[in-house]
Amino acid sequence: MNQPAGTGRARAAKERILRAARELFAENGFRDTTVRDIAKRAGVNGAAINYYFASKEALYAAIFEEAFERFRRPFADMLDGVRDQATWRAALEAWFGFVLELFLLDTPERSIFRRLVAQERAAPGEATARIVESVVRPVAAVLRDLLRMSMPDADPVAFHAAFITTMSQCAVFMHRDPPWDPFVVSDRVPRETWVRTVRDEIVANVCARHSFVRRTEPFPLFP
């Protein structure tokens, strides 16, 4: 990426480009967003995008890299305090709570990230492999390790089935734009309350079938 002069005007132009690109990629996907579209929304000329980011592909990568760092961070030490049933359940609540907030709370940052990932899932492109490696695997690995603590000696196939079915309870909430919202979101309570309700239901179901046994060593997410 080119390094522009550190003036306030240059920084403002760069941020406008990033903001416009996030919005357009989330709305239309990578393939159907052009440099001209981004430049028009950002209020810059097309040459500015090439100056700051070299190409549309590099701009797209920069957006995801920024999002990856932000959304991976809460999972970095989630396993550290797990030592018994209570702390294991608390870690499950933290994992499902964060993921459900990401998918269900409509802050601008969360909404754009969810839609960016949904676009990649609907029409996989060059960024898909990077999303899987940089976000999906590290985040899923935390849940995998938590569940493994309750099934340390399980048959690999049985464990994989338990892990996938547990994790998939969140996937339905990623694709919730109209007309799907009424099926996955309750309009009878505030959204934050709905997130907690769904989280508690999922965790209660997990804990009804599984209990903490012991900490285990991490192992490959998908053999």
The count of other CB atoms within 10 Å of the CB of residue 148 is 21
CATH match for 65-209 among 1.10.357.10, 1.10.3720.10, 3.40.50.300, 1.10.10.60? 1.10.357.10
Q: Identify the pLDDT of residue 5.
A: 47
Sequence spans of domains, the chain: 8-54, 65-209
Rg of the chain (C-alpha set): 20
What pLDDT score does 220 carry? 67
Query: In this model, does residue 218 exceed pLDDT 80?
Result: no
Cα distance between residue 75 and residue 77, in whole Å: 6
In the chain the first and final C-alpha atoms are separated, in Å, by: 35
Mean pLDDT in residue range 159-187: 88
pLDDT of residue 154: 93
How many Å apart are CA 26 and CA 214, to the nearest integer?
41
Spell 107-145 as b/e; 16+ CB within 10 A means b.
eeeebbbbbbbbbbeeeeeebbeebeebbeeebbbbbbb
Is 1 a residue whose pLDDT tops 70?
no
pLDDT exceeds cutoff 70 at 3: no
Q: Give the pLDDT confidence score for residue 100 in this predicted structure.
A: 94
CA pair distance 83, 157, nearest whole angstrom: 26
At 149, give phi and psi (nearest 5°): -65, -20
Quote the CA–CA distance of 44 and 36 in Å, as a whole number. 9
Other CB atoms closer than 10 Å to residue 168's CB: what's the count?
9
4, two tokens = 């522009």
Q: Give the model confidence (pLDDT) of 22-55 as tens digits.
A: 999 988 988 899 999 999 999 999 899 999 998 8
* Domain made up of 8-54: CATH architecture: Orthogonal Bundle (1.10)
